[in-house]
Amino acid sequence: MTDLATLYQTDYSVWVQHTVELLRARRFDELDIEHLLEELSDMSKSEQRELESRLLVLIAHLLKWQYQYQTLSERWREFDGRSWRATIIEQRKRLTLLLRNSPGLKAIFIETMTAVYADAIELVCDETGLPATTFPINCPYTAEQLLDKTYYPN
């Protein structure tokens, strides 16, 4: 194991600083390529997990808005969906920032949206007690609607 690889195991922060210095100096033959590739791969996975998480919460709240809001507002006069609206606004903002900072995620947005939809239904069912059959089999929202600040389902 090289000294840099050992440093990765013992002092990650110093390893990062040293790796940056080597890259800036174009001393590529001294890099700890194995761990550098691992870190770059983990960065990508982290961004993908954030995209999944944000879409899951956003879709779940839009489903609650569409399928439960009317019932709750009729039962409880004081229910106005304010907390749901706040969550929808925050998730849209965070998604917009994530896509701006990591534009490569746009290529997997629809695929990720489709992949998390079943989890969103499960979350809504757990939170509301509504049966899964209440919801469409496929995500009823387009990518544009998910990111549209003015879009709220009927």
The 3-class secondary structure across the chain, one letter per residue, is CCHHHHHHHHCHHHHHHHHHHHHHCCCHHHCCHHHHHHHHHHHHHHHHHHHHHHHHHHHHHHHHHHHCHHHHHHHCCCCCCHHHHHHHHHHHHHHHHHHHHCHHHHHHHHHHHHHHHHHHHHHHHHHHCCCHHHCCCCCCCCHHHHHCCCCCCC
* Cβ-based burial of 59 (10 A; exposed 0-12, middle 13-18, buried ≥19): buried
Amino acid (1-letter code) at residue 32 = D
Residue 73 has pLDDT above 80, yes or no: no
- Predicted local distance difference test score (pLDDT) of residue 33: 92
- Report the mean per-residue pLDDT for the chain: 89
- Predicted local distance difference test score (pLDDT) of residue 113: 97
- Residue range 109-113: average pLDDT? 97
Cβ atoms of 22 and 3 closer than 8 Å:
no
- Predicted local distance difference test score (pLDDT) of residue 40: 84
Of the chain, the end-to-end C-alpha distance in Å amounts to: 61
- Residue range 118-131: average pLDDT? 94
Residue 13 has pLDDT above 80, yes or no: yes
Q: Which two tokens stand for residue 22?
A: 């080597």
Residue 76 has pLDDT above 70, yes or no: no
Phi, psi of 80 (to 5 degrees): -125, 5
Q: Which two tokens stand for residue 37?
A: 């590739």
Which tens digits make up the pLDDT trace of 56-66?
Answer: 999 999 999 89
